[in-house]
Structure 1
Amino acid sequence: MSMFRDTLLTLLGRLTTGLGGLALMMTLIDILYGVVTRYLVGQAPIWSDELARYCLIASALLIAGNVWVRGEHMRVALLERHLGATARRVLLAYQWLLTLGLALAMTWWSWHYALSVSYFTSQGLGISRTIPMLAMPIGFGLLALQVLIYGPRPLPQPGIDDADTVSEASS
C-alpha cells in the first residue's frame, strides 16, 4: 500500500508541477509580449495583464499539493520535533485533518464562487469569469486529494531530513 501511495503521489506531483510550470511559462511569455508591445507600439493589449494574473494564480494553486506533500511549504515544525511519540501522532493527525478540512472547504466554496460568476465576462479576455476562476476549485481539490492520499504521517523537512540522509550515508 505504501509503495502504491508513494507512486500515486509522485505521479500527481509530476502532473501538477508540469501543469503549474506550463501556466508559469504562459505567464512569462505573456508578460514579455506585453513589454515588447509597450516598447514597440506604445501600449500592451488590454488582455495581457489579465491573462498573466490568471496564469500566475493557476500555477500557484496547481503546485500547492505537491509542495505540501514534499514538506516544502512554509511551516514551523519545532513542536513536532520535541513531543513524545503519542503527542506527536495526535499533533500530526490534527494537522492533517485541519489541512484536509480546509482544502475541502475551499474546494467547495471556490467551486460555488466560480459558478456564481458565470454571467460576468472578464474585461480584457472577454470570456466567462468562471473559466479562470475554476483554477481555484481544481487547485484546492488537487491539494485535498494529495493530502488525503498522504495521510496523517510526518511531512518531510527539507534541510533537516537532507542533513540526516547525508550524515547516514557518510557513516
Structure 2
Amino acid sequence: MNAPASTSTLTVKVTSLLLAIRAVIDKCFAILASAALLAIAAVVLLQVISRFMLPTSPVWTEELSRYLFIYLIVLSSGLVIRDDRHVRLELFQGFLNPFWKRIYVLICHVLTAAFALYLIPFSMQYAQIGQWQMSPTLEMPMYWVFISVTIFFYLTAFYSVLGALLELLSFTQRRGQ
C-alpha cells in the first residue's frame, strides 16, 4: 500500500520539477523571441522611413531583418511544440478515445525527438560551412545564421523529449490514482 503512494509522490515531484525547468526555459526563449520580433519591427520601420524621408536607405536593413526573422522562428519553435501548435495531421486524432490520443501524442513526441536528434550532427556540419563565408552587407560570419538550424533541432529535441516525459509521467500518475 505504501509503494504506490511513494511512486505517486515521486511522480508528482518529478513532474513539478520538469514543469519548473520548462517554465524557466520558456521564459528565456519567449523573451529572446520577443526581442527578435521587436528588432524586426524596428529595422523594417527604419527601412521604410529612410526610403521615404532620407536620400538613401541603409543597405543592411533587409539582410538583418531576414536573419532576425530566422531567429524569431527558431527561438519560438520550442514554445510551439510545448503548446502543441505545430502543424500535424489531425485527420483521425478526433476519432481516438483519450487513452489512444495520449499514446498518439507520446508517439509523435518520440518520433519528433528522434528525427531532431538524428539531424543535429548534419546541421552542425552545415553550420561549419558558414565559418568561411561572410554576409554581404553586415559582413558577419554566416556561421551565426547557419547555426540557427542546429539550435532549432536542439530545441525541437529538448521540447519533444520533455513532452514525452511529461506524457509518460501523466500515465504513471493516472495509474497511481
TM-score range, shorter chain: 0.7 to 0.9
Listed one character per residue, the Cα deviations across residues 34-78 of structure 1 (whole Å, up to 9, x for unaligned) are: 111111224322211010000011011111111111122233434
Q: CA RMSD in A?
A: 2.2
CA distance in 2, matches of 1:106, 1:20: 23
Question: What is aligned with 1:124?
Answer: 137
Question: What is aligned with 1:26?
Answer: 39
CA distance in 2, matches of 1:22, 1:140: 21
Q: Structure 1 unaligned segments of length 5 or more: list them.
A: 155-171
Q: Which amino acid aligns with 1:74?
A: V
Q: Which amino acid aligns with 2:60?
A: W
CA contact (8 A) 2:36 2:69 kept: yes
Listed one character per residue, the Cα deviations across residues 111-141 of structure 1 (whole Å, up to 9, x for unaligned) are: 2211112111000101111012222211321
Q: Which amino acid aligns with 1:5?
A: L
Question: What is aligned with 1:37?
Answer: 50
Matches within 5 A, 1:51-66: 51-66=64-79
Structure 1 position 71 matched with structure 2 position 84: yes
2:56 aligned counterpart, secondary structure: coil
* Identical pairs, percent: 22
Structure 1 position 105 matched with structure 2 position 114: no
In structure 2, the CA distance between the partners of 1:114 and 1:70, relative to structure 1 (3 Å rule), is: same
TM-score, reference length from structure 2: 0.77
Equivalent residue for 1:82, pick from 95, 111, 116: 95
In structure 2, the CA distance between the partners of 1:72 and 1:87, relative to structure 1 (3 Å rule), is: closer
TM-score, reference length from structure 1: 0.79
Between structure 1 and structure 2, the one with the greater Rg is 2
Listed one character per residue, the Cα deviations across residues 14-41 of structure 1 (whole Å, up to 9, x for unaligned) are: 1111111111111111111111111122
Q: How many residues align?
A: 154
Question: What is aligned with 1:115?
Answer: 128
Residue 84 of structure 1: how far off its partner (Å): 4.7
Q: Structure 2 unaligned segments of length 5 or more: list them.
A: 1-13, 169-177
1:55 aligned counterpart, secondary structure: helix
CA distance in 2, matches of 1:117, 1:5: 35
